[in-house]
């Protein structure tokens, strides 16, 4: 069960409509609708925290490990990094889906690949043309 299913489950348990939850979290009702349909994800951990507080749960309950990696990537590197990490996590999860890997071992593998992704991005900055570099690089 992913973010969208857990969000809807907790919203219904709390007896809130999408509009009521949106008002509590200071987002639009369309945003909550998109989260529940899975067409959009929160852009940062603050929004997830606000949603969790409004629903009387925790951000840890709402987010899977893959969601956490994607959100961290979104905050750190923007939408492209989030898509890259989401794809990487999906491939790793699929790779081990039929095997005998424990949850802790899978988490370790995903964390290692996530760290490797960010190290490679940092190392490859020097190869980017100057016009694409951010100030201070």
- Rounded CA-CA distance 50/24 in Å is 8
pLDDT at 12: 95
pLDDT at 69: 75
Per domain, the residue ranges of the chain are 3-62, 65-127
| pLDDT reported for residue 51 | 94
37 vs 134: which has the higher pLDDT: 37
The first and second tokens of residue 19, run together, are 């509009």
pLDDT at 9: 94
Whole-model pTM over 0.75: no
CB atoms within 10 A of CB 88: 19
38 DSSP 8-state letter: T
What was the pLDDT predicted at 60? 85
Separation between Cα atoms, residue 69 and residue 31, nearest integer Å: 21
Is the pLDDT higher at 16 or at 67?
Answer: 16
Q: What is the DSSP letter of 39?
A: S
Q: How far is CA 87 from the centre of its chain?
A: 12
78-131 confidence digits (pLDDT tens):
788 778 877 877 776 666 666 666 667 667 777 777 777 777 777 776 666 766
Which residues have a Cβ under 8 Å from the Cβ of 26 and sit 6 or more positions away?
A: 50
Q: What CA–CA distance (Å, rounded) separates 47 from 53? A: 10
Tens digit of pLDDT for each residue in 12-52? 999 999 999 999 999 999 999 999 998 888 888 899 999 99
Q: CA-CA distance, 107 to 101, in Å (whole number)?
A: 10
Residue 19: per-residue pLDDT: 96
Identify which of 54, 42, 31, 43 has the alpha carbon closest to the alpha carbon of residue 3. Answer: 42
3-62 belongs to which CATH class?
Answer: mainly alpha
């Amino acid at each position: 069960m992913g973010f969208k299913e857990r969000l809807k489950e907790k919203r219904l348990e709390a007896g809130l409509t999408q509009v009521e939850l949106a008002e509590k979290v200071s987002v639009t009702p369309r945003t909550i609708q998109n989260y529940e349909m899975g067409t959009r994800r929160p852009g940062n951990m603050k929004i997830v925290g606000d949603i969790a507080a409004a629903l009387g749960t925790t951000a840890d309950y709402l987010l899977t490990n893959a969601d956490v990696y994607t959100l961290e990537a979104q905050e750190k590197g923007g939408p492209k990094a989030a898509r890259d990490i989401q794809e990487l996590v999906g491939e790793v999860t699929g790779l081990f889906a039929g095997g005998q890997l424990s949850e802790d071992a899978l988490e370790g593998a995903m964390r290692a690949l996530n760290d490797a992704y960010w190290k490679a991005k940092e190392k490859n900055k020097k190869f980017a043309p100057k016009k694409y570099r951010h100030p201070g690089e």
